[in-house]
Structure 1
Amino acid sequence: MSRKPAYPAIPRAREALEVHIKELMDLGVLRKVGHNEQVVVGDVGALNTYTIPDRYPIPRIHETLTQLSKAKLITAMDALKGFHQNVLTDNAKKILRIIVHYGIYEYLRMPFGIKNAPSHYQSMMNTIFPEEL
């Protein structure tokens, strides 16, 4: 895959992008990449076309609601930025780089939009909470 240029953005969108990137950096999800490092890809749409689908089953909402209707006690947990809890391999970090108008960044944790992110996240939740899910 070839290097893609930064997407053009109007000033207001640039400001929002800068705020979002700073938030992801503060959370340890994203880091800035030096100018001399090669960028493999920054468009997850292109990456997703080459990704072999992970067929891990994701629960159907209707079945989940049916099970909940029989419950005596229901607990809700909020996994803040759930996908961002998955640390990426060094190879995945290089593949998941993004280019913006003021630099190159690479994800340190799984971003949204990756084809297999939902199935990987579900697998992780089933491993952590085997009895609850």
Structure 2
Amino acid sequence: MIAPKKGEKGKMCIDFRRLNNVTIRDAYPMPRVEDLIDALSGARDFSKMDAESGYHQIEMDPRDIEKTAFACREGLFEFTRMPFGLVNVPAIFQRIMNTILRPFLYKFGGATSIFHPPPPKKKKELRSKSQK
């Protein structure tokens, strides 16, 4: 099915509910908003990356490719990269992002914030201002 997307061409959507219902869930923890706020407090420089197509950068395990098969007018197709809609893709993506950018990363949904701790002098200034 093609889902309408505001201001753009439609987006192809596959209904993976039956597959998701029999999938063993990946329990990798997703970040909590409260943790994000704590982690970003005191940061002075921020960068943001939009991972809109990030899932499609991750190769599917060859044993799982056939599970993503779908049929349309043009024939039968399978995903070789992770599609949207599979229940474990967010956890897999989170794990990969954390591994690559762990020292300065906080990822929440499709938005990624990279933060840099302030230099020691700036930390002292911030602390003294917050204690007033």
Q: Using the TM superposition, give the Cα deviation of residue 125 of structure 1 relative to its aligned residue in structure 2, in angstroms.
A: 0.4
| 2:84 aligned with 1:112 | yes
What TM-score do you get using the length of structure 2 for normalisation?
Answer: 0.65
Alpha carbon RMSD of aligned pairs, Å? 2.5
Partner of 2:119: none
Deviations 1:16-49 (A, max 9, x none): 9x9756xxxxxxxxxxxxxxxxxxxx74100001
| 2:39 aligned with 1:62 | no
Structure with bigger strand share is 2
Name the SS for the 1:48 alignment partner. helix
**Hey, what's the Cα distance between the residues in 2 that align with 1:103 and 1:58?**
36
Partner of 2:108: none
| 2:64 aligned with 1:92 | yes
- The structure whose Rg is larger is 2
Tell me, which stretches of 5 or more residues in structure 2 are unaligned?
A: 106-132
Deviating 4+ runs (over 6 angstroms): none
| 2:13 aligned with 1:50 | no
**Greater relative contact order structure (CA < 8 Å, 6+ sep):** 1
Partner of 2:113: none
* Stretch deviating more after TM superposition (122-131 or 85-94): 85-94
Q: Using the TM superposition, give the Cα deviation of residue 101 of structure 1 relative to its aligned residue in structure 2, in angstroms.
A: 2.7
**Hey, what's the Cα distance between the residues in 2 that align with 1:52 and 1:128?**
25
**Hey, what's the Cα distance between the residues in 2 that align with 1:132 and 1:66?**
13
Identity %: 34
Structure with bigger helix share is 1
Aligned residues, how many?
100
